[in-house]
Structure 1
Amino acid sequence: MIKVSQGDLDMMRMLFDRYHLKIFNFLLKMTRDRVISQDITQEVFYKAIKYKTSYKNGKFSSWIFTIARNVFSDHYQKSKSSPKRLDDFEYKTMSEETDHIEQNEVKQQLDQALNQLSDSDRELVIMNRYQGIKYNEIAEIVGSTEGAVKTKVHRAIHKLKGYYLQNA
């Protein structure tokens, strides 16, 4: 990323290849919508290039996930205030039915339990357990301490377990 920030944009291809699936999967778990996740992933890498000079030699994964969180948050705020169209609901219903057929029962129950978590708890669980991001990196991403993140993840996992057992 240092080379990208100095103007060598060809190096961004390597970073994109390495991180786009992780970012996409994180966003997919957050949005539960493949198309929106693809759009937001593109926006994340666009912003990474646009704001390349703001990169300050830290851990790249923390920096790119911070951008992803911010873009997701921006999208969520915009979608909350915009009116919903009927065809959006029809499309979402069709895709949910298709997904429902393809998923096995355990995954469905886990997804249901995950959706019952608050946005912040779900985000922590996804980053730590699904994306494999370490506590210290999550702390940097969310602007907290490593100890606080460990505690929050532990509590979120405990809640997730309770929700999962209720749905089973």
Structure 2
Amino acid sequence: MEHSNYQLYSDEYLLEMYTRTGDNQWLAALLERYTLVLLGYCMRSLHNMELAKDAVQQVQLKVIRYVHRQKITSFPAWLFAIARNECVLQHRKQQRLLRDIIEADPEAIANPEVPEGYERARLDRHLPDALDRITEPQRDCILLFYLHQLSYQDISDKTGYSLKEVKSHIQNGKRNLKKILEQYE
């Protein structure tokens, strides 16, 4: 049978054929079957298309790496367990990055007149939501500048924005973050 007719086969058959033959087309067909569903799952979990795409790629790489190491009785259950774990890892990574932003320049993001007793945990809790509420270009430029410590020129090269746009996105993003965070007080 031709591999192009993979939609006619069950998950179990595709997995068995891959395991038996080592032919990557069988596994590729199986992964392709779930790519859009995985993307939707990761998007709902991460609320960011680029992070979701990255998570799907990581899930697919982990499937390729680990598929031989265990007996898989339900491919979708196993696949989505990997996806859930990858989304948790992405969330943790984002939290670390957000803490790095706060520590790098807390006055640029938080209210400069924050009372002495303002809890850092409160700011940590609201910053992810605040970042979700600013525009994607602002969020991307702020994360690249504060977390990855890229220069304006490097950000421009990576995103395709002009230097003037990068500077504007960072300044406007910081101002918008500050306004949003003030709403939580």
Structure 1 length normalisation: TM-score? 0.49
Higher relative contact order (CA 8 A, sep 6+): 1
Task: Tell which structure's C-alpha radius of gyration is larger.
Answer: 2
